[in-house]
Structure 1
Amino acid sequence: MCTYVTEQSATSGSGKGAAGWFPLTSTTVYFDHPVHAQADHTLNLDFVNPDRGASARVAVELTADSAVGLVAAIARVLTQVQPELTGVDEPAARRLLEAAEALRKS
C-alpha cells in the first residue's frame, strides 16, 4: 500500500554524489515502497539541489526502526554539544530524544 505521506524541508548543508560534493537546498522525507532496500516499506530521505539537476541527489532508504534510531542518535549528539555552537535549544533536543526513545519501546 502506498502511503503518499511526504514532507519537504529546506536544507542547508552539503551532499556527496557521483560527481562529488554539492550544496543541498532541500530534503524530501516520505514513507513508501523502497527502490533498493530489502523491506516492504521504508522511510526515504532525498537530499537534493534541484538547481543542479538529477545528479545532485543523495537518496537514503531506512527501515522505520533504523530511522527512529537515527533520530535518537542525532538528538543525543545535539544534547551533548553547546547550544551556542548548534543554535539548537537543548531542552528541545532532549524532548526529541525522549520521543525517539519512546517510539523504540512501542
Structure 2
Amino acid sequence: MCCSCNETYTIFSLSFVVAEPVENNMEMYHAIANCLFKNKVISNINVAKNRALTEDGKNLFCFELHLSNTNHAEALTLENVQKALADLTAQFPGYSDMQIKPHVHVHA
C-alpha cells in the first residue's frame, strides 16, 4: 500500500507467460483499466515497474498496478481484481497463466 495526494493505493503484482519477450503493452494496460473501471473496482490506476524476465525457460511479462477507489474502498479487493480481469488473456494471443498477487513490500 502507498499514499499519494491524499489517496491510498493498493498495489498488485501481475505476471503473464508470454510467447515473445514483452516489456510494455499499452493495449493491455487500457484493457485492464477498462475492465476495472467497468466493474467499479477502481477510481484510479497507475502502472509501474514493467519488466521482461525469463524464468524456467519461460518468457514472463511483469508489472505492478497501483489501484485506488476513493468512492468505494471496500470494492478494491484481490478477489474483485481477479474477477474483473478473469478473461483478460483471451484478448491477447500469446499471453497465458496470468498471476495476480498483492504486492509485498520488503524493508531492507
TM-score of the aligned structures, taking structure 1 as reference length: 0.29
TM-score of the aligned structures, taking structure 2 as reference length: 0.29
> Which gives a bigger RCO, structure 1 or 2 (Cα 8 Å, sep 6+)?
2
Q: Which protein is richer in helix relative to its size?
A: 1
